[in-house]
Amino acid sequence: MTAPAIHLAGVLQGAKATLIDLFDITLPGGEWSVLLGPSGVGKTSLLRLLAGLPCAARLHGQIKAEDGAHLAPRVTMMAQDDHLLPWAGALENVTIAARLRGERPDPERAEALLAEVGLGSEADRRPAELSAGQRQRVALARTLYEGRDIVLLDEPFSALDVVTRHQMQGLAARLLAGRTVVLITHDPAEALRLANHAWIVARGGISPCALPSPPPPRRIDAPDTLAAQADLLRRIGLTFPDKAA
């Protein structure tokens, strides 16, 4: 696997106004890059443009892989909604994209991936029979089945409870190691736990974040992680009272 760096530069224009003013960043290859910021600032639009999907916003600039090859054939995306087919079992859902492309599915590989995400005994169960965390594990197995160098994650864990979210973060960090991963989140704790590199996305542009020195996935209760989280919260607009009420 050769996971490329991605260069993004330009201005992101919405239907009625500029979403993100002039920016120029490089997302390093083979590592996790996190785009952090409030809802509505244009993070998902950037991700859809990276994926080559239809998007109401327009980029006046460029998105390119630094190795010069096309991005689209090397990209897969995992969203907050698992998008599982309700009438299909977990195994069928893992291979759905390949079948839609007219390819012959590889059930042995799909079964191995379900086992890898802890669902080896759930291959025939339909989404309604699975918990929210289990459905996201199926979605992660489906993402891995695609075998792409670039993985785009659009708040894939935000609808999960705290414990399940923490488990899914650790699982994704392990299984997506070595790929170029771009994660969108509005949660500083998630960004600090998973990011090799992180940026705050705002109307005025995209600015880098300082991260704690331990490599990800980081302990969420470590003092330097907590201090960095407080700093990020301040940067995205949260104010802290001087004294408790």
Domains of the chain: 6-84+149-235 (3.40.50.300)
Q: What is the pLDDT of residues 5-45, one digit of tens each?
A: 999 999 999 988 999 999 999 999 999 999 998 888 899 99
Whether the per-residue pLDDT at 55 is higher than 50: the answer is yes
pLDDT of residue 245: 42
Helix (H) or strand (E) holding 224: helix 223-235
Averaged pLDDT, 199-204 = 93
pLDDT of residue 40: 86
Show the tokens assigned to 149.
């160098």
For the sheet containing 58-65, what is the strand order? Answer: 18-27, 6-13, 58-65
Q: What is the pLDDT of residues 88-98, one digit of tens each?
A: 999 999 999 99
Share of the chain above pLDDT 90, in %: 77
For the sheet containing 180-185, what is the strand order? Answer: 75-79, 150-154, 180-185, 32-36, 197-202, 205-208
Least reliable range by pLDDT among 99-103, 157-161, 169-173, 174-178: 157-161
pLDDT of residue 75: 95
